[in-house]
Amino acid sequence: LHGRIRIRRFLQLMKHVLIILGAIFLLITIICIQLVRASSHRIPKRTHKDLVEGGVVSMCSPAFNRILPPASGERPLIIIITPTHARPTRLADMIRFAQTLMHIHDIVWLVIEDGDALSDPVYRIIRRTQRAYCYFGVKRNRALPLRGWTARDFALKFLRKRFAEFSNRAIVYFADDDNTYDIRLFDMFIRKVKTVGVWAVGIVAQRPVEAPRVNNDSVVDGWLTDYAPKREWAIDMAGFALNLNIILQRKNANFIDCKVSSPEPCLLSRLNLTKQDLQPFGHADYPRDILVWHTKSSHLIKKGLMKRSYGYLIE
């Protein structure tokens, strides 16, 4: 009998021990999850020295470092490349663009500063989007005609290394911070690009609109513009997006080797593209809405007054 009681007591004890152990295990798990979460809110400062040449600083979100190629059933990723530089209207322009991107999911935002110093107000705007991002500072290549070229050339190199495994599961769009984007542009046009997508851009080249001209077979055979419409590429950077695959396959395409022309025909001709490769969007819609506008903010500030900012942040 004593033996049985002992066994019973032992089992009772074991039961309590197991319950306590279980509770402790649960507690540790919860604490671990909280710790992991808390640490993922910290923004790691790291330089992508392994990915790109020297002279580049970068701040990437934890979400960026976790990004993997989408499976074939999933929506492809949109990689947005934004060259930017300090100017009085920059923070306002970046706020508007960031708030536009906050409506779009499954995107990566690569912001490339003109110079190797990152701007803290810009960084905070980017971070508030809660999107996957990298903010780079890239020293300008003075041999290139305009400042945006260095940034876009850096972006092509970075894409070929960081997104090498993404094949056709991502689309690349060069998006300036002062343009106006209708949020429908991203999922109705860009997300569907299999090769090169093209569409109308409003208020560009001192004209109300420039757009691809589409023939009855839905093939682009020219450009709707009265300014040199016979040009091979009468298109603004905001008017096209590229399937990543095209950039990965044409490894030599860059913004360096054709310094004389504007950047759009430079890139598109070096990618070995013809108008027949283009996918036109929006030309058959009714009404014919423009979904991206090449807007510019006026610099309304009198010279010599830039320093009167009373501790408020302005660039």
Query: Quick check: 161 binds its own copies (CB under 8 A)?
Result: no
Q: Report the chain's terminal Cα–Cα distance, integer Å.
A: 87
Structure-token pair, residue 99:
């708030």
The rounded distance, in Å, linking the Cα atoms of 63 and 132 is: 5
Query: Quick check: 180 binds its own copies (CB under 8 A)?
Result: yes
Contact criterion met (CB below 8 Å) for 171 and 195? no
x/- map, 263-292, its own copies, by CB under 8 A: ------------------------xxxx--
213 to 13, 80, 224, 270: CA distances (angstroms): 82, 25, 5, 22
Judged by CB, which is closer to its own copies: 54, or 208? 208
The rounded distance, in Å, linking the Cα atoms of 82 and 157 is: 15
Considering only residues 32 to 71 of the shown chain, the ones binding its own copies according to CB under 8 A are: none
Query: Quick check: 93 binds its own copies (CB under 8 A)?
Result: yes
x/- map, 199-228, its own copies, by CB under 8 A: -x-xxx-xxxx-x------------xxx--
Considering the candidates 74, 113, 232, 264, report the single residue annotated as catalytic: 264
**Shortest CB 117 distance to its own copies, Å:** 17
Q: CB count, 10 Å around CB of 133?
A: 24
Question: Which stretch, 16-24, 106-114, 161-169, 304-312, contacts its own copies (CB under 8 A)?
Answer: 304-312
Long-range own/partner contacts, residues 300-306 (CB < 8 A, 24 or more apart) = 301/88, 306/88
Give the residue, chosen from 40, 89, 245, 254, that forms a contact with its own copies under the rule CB under 8 A: 89
Q: Say whether 53 is catalytic.
A: no
**Shortest CB 293 distance to its own copies, Å:** 4
Residues with a catalytic annotation lie at 264
